[in-house]
Amino acid sequence: MTAEQQQRERALPPAPGPDLDPYLDAAARCFTRFGVARTSVQDIARELGVNRTTVYRQVGNVQSAALLLVSREIDRILSALPARIAGLTGPEAVVELLASVIEDSLAHPVLHKMLTDERDMVGALLAGEIPRLFTEITDRMAPLVGLLVGRGAIADRDPVVVAEWLTRIAVTVVVAEPRGPLRRFLAELLVPALRP
């Protein structure tokens, strides 16, 4: 197997279609209950009321199901971003946007379970998937940042660079929450840098 093939196997898959939602919902319930490391394909099958072969055929093994779930949840969060910036103005809008994305992420039951009980899994996920996560999230956020720049709501900066910066802040804050209130922390970082 070539290095490129190995990288593709480790890469986060594209967001799955809604036909996989029942399998991913069942996996999420199992991950929340048992943890990702202690969940088996049999657990997912039992949760869904199907046999293991069906689960393997639809979502693969537990690691594959976990990566599909991550991809789906990132897609859901990012798809909601355009509605969140509608009507908001200025750097404070970016603070609110980023705070809501971070809060949504922290409220996800599987991520919450991993951050409290399986921190080693979070580290492994970040070590293996972080470049792809940063690229995907940055690519989805850059057009929204470009809209804010175009409206004059934030400073005239490269939207891709700002989107990547925001992504890096969000991932860091999700993994290690700031000591003080989230919005105050983000405002201290973002408002001076993004003020037009």
Domain ranges of the chain: 14-66, 80-196
Alpha helices in 49-108 (DSSP H): 52-59, 62-79, 81-85, 90-107
Tell me the helix, strand and coil percentages in the chain, rounded to 5: 80, 0, 20
Averaged pLDDT of the chain: 87
Instruction: Decide if pLDDT at 11 tops 70.
Output: no
Amino acid identity for residue 125 in this structure: L
Q: Among candidates 115, 107, 118, 106, which has minimal Cα distance to 35?
A: 118
The model's pLDDT over 103-136, given as tens digits with 9 standing for 90+, comes to: 999 999 998 898 888 888 777 777 777 788 888 8
Whose tokens are 């009321």? That residue is 49
Q: Which CATH architecture has domain 14-66?
A: Orthogonal Bundle (1.10)
Instruction: Decide if pLDDT at 2 tops 50.
Output: no
Q: Among candidates 105, 110, 99, which has minimal Cα distance to 33?
A: 110
- State CA 5 to chain mean position distance: 24
Q: What is the pTM of this model?
A: 0.79
